[in-house]
Amino acid sequence: MELRGLFEKMFIKKEPTRNYSQYKLLSSSTSTFIPWDGNVYNNDIVRSCIRPKERAVGKLKPLHIRTIENDIVISPNPAIKMLLRFPNEYMSMQKLLEKMINQRELTHNAFAFIQRDALNRPIAIFPIPTSNAELLEYDGILFLRFQFSTGKRMTVPYDDVIHLRKDYSDNDFYGSSGNSALSNLMQVLDTTDKGIVKSIKNSSIIKWLMKFTQALRKEDQDIQIKQFADNYLDIEKNEVPIAPVDPRYTIEQVKEDSYIPNGEIMEKYEKRLKNYFGVNDEIINNSFTEDQWNAFYEAEIEPVAKELSDQFTNKLFTKHEIECGNEIIFEASSLEFASMKTKLQLKEMVDRGAMNVNEWRKVMNLGATEFGDEFIRRLDTAPIKEEKEETEGDSNE
């Protein structure tokens, strides 16, 4: 059963029973979000552009932390810890993030519904495979009414929806649609692909015309055509590329001038599409250098991690819980793609107490050790305060 069917079966019945005439639109022109139905995801270039970001975001590790004065407690709530690992019974957090980033890149909006228990505690998170979303207001409370491809609807409070947006500009609530930006570009690429296929198919059309100088029966014409094809058009049989002149007919070759797109022009269009999604050939082909990955990570992955952190924190916790220091962060280290030389140089951070042994071993993809969580420091280093006191003591003597 598809996830959409499971989602509808479990939650469509939870739609409020209030009369919809009591709901009002916040705006007559900008309160509805409708994804582009241009089947962009069916294009192989689009998928290759989205895939690196999808996998990188899927590897982000969500953590519940609680900051009390200067102390940070990691995963203080076991229920939230489990929720951040397995948001629902059908998928892991990795797959949920991958699905949401796919929707965010394709439609510039992604939604996930937070299921709560009788005490209003979050117990599950489901991505919403919506065909459009409509913003409503009732009694001062914001609602989103989702419509699915099956025609069914579901209305939920906006406070129970994790909402990711891309190109948040001209619309007050939704990420701006990519219709106009991608329409012409995708049309060129799609037309080019179809044109190449058409040219290949046209290669099987008639290439020769045989003009007979005398009237022949249809059966005799077929015999002459077959004999000519077998004798002079079959490369394996015709070892000598010379055909004699036959007074019974003349042969005329039909030239097919098929338009083949210019390779340089097509590369420019493909580059425009890759620039639109913020990737390049090295990122797509996994042939990037350390610096290239760090640039991609900082430009494309970190902003998404910050958006996820803000949305999960705001929607999973109450204002009082946030004031008490609770938040969700999405950890990711660009050092996992660092070169071995860079990783080995991090031992200096361990010597100076900036990293502990287990943190360094994690970068090296090694397991933790028993005493690796303790911070150490070289004996020839000391805090500035201690050095200052020692200097003052020497000067007093």
> What's the structural domain count of the chain?
3
Q: Sign of the CA dihedral 12, 17, 20, 23?
A: negative
Q: With 60 as the cut, is the pLDDT of residue 376 above it?
A: yes
Residue 209 belongs to what H/E stretch?
strand 208-212
Domain that holds residue 80: 3-175+276-316
Q: With 70 as the cut, is the pLDDT of residue 127 above it?
A: yes
List all residues 6 or more positions away from 23 whose beta carbon is below 8 Å from its beta carbon: 136, 137, 138, 143, 145, 155
Q: Is there a domain that residue 326 lies in?
A: no
Quick: pLDDT tens for 38-73: 578 888 889 999 999 999 999 999 999 998 887 888
Q: With 50 as the cut, is the pLDDT of residue 28 above it?
A: no
Q: Is there a domain that residue 328 lies in?
A: no
Q: Report the predicted TM-score, pTM, of the whole model to 2 decimal places.
A: 0.71
Question: What's the whole-number average pLDDT of the chain?
Answer: 79
Name which of 122, 264, 132, 260 is nearest 196 in CA terms: 260
Check whether residue 109 and residue 34 sit in a common domain: yes
Quick: pLDDT tens for 168-183: 988 888 998 887 788 8
Q: Is there a domain that residue 270 lies in?
A: no
Check whether residue 153 and residue 219 sit in a common domain: no
Check whether residue 305 and residue 169 sit in a common domain: yes
Q: Name which residue leads in pLDDT, 138 or 284.
A: 284
With H, G, I as helix, E, B as strand and everything else as coil, classify residue 253. strand
Amino acid letter for position 51: R
Check whether residue 71 and residue 127 sit in a common domain: yes
Check whether residue 286 and residue 364 sit in a common domain: no
Quick: pLDDT tens for 325-348: 999 999 876 566 667 777 777 778
Check whether residue 68 and residue 144 sit in a common domain: yes
Check whether residue 219 and residue 124 sit in a common domain: no
Q: Is there a domain that residue 186 lies in?
A: no
Check whether residue 33 and residue 73 sit in a common domain: yes
Check whether residue 8 and residue 124 sit in a common domain: yes
Check whether residue 28 and residue 94 sit in a common domain: yes
Q: Is there a domain that residue 187 lies in?
A: no
Q: Is there a domain that residue 23 lies in?
A: yes
127-146: average pLDDT: 88
Q: Is there a domain that residue 251 lies in?
A: yes
Check whether residue 301 and residue 244 sit in a common domain: no
Q: Name which residue leads in pLDDT, 143 or 195.
A: 143
In the prediction, which pLDDT does 8 show? 58
Q: Is there a domain that residue 215 lies in?
A: yes
Check whether residue 133 and residue 58 sit in a common domain: yes
**What's the number of CA atoms in the CB half-sphere (13 Å) around residue 287?**
4
Specify the pairing of strand 71-74 against strand 61-68. antiparallel
For the ranges 102-111, 223-232, 250-259, 373-382, the one whose mean pLDDT is highest: 102-111
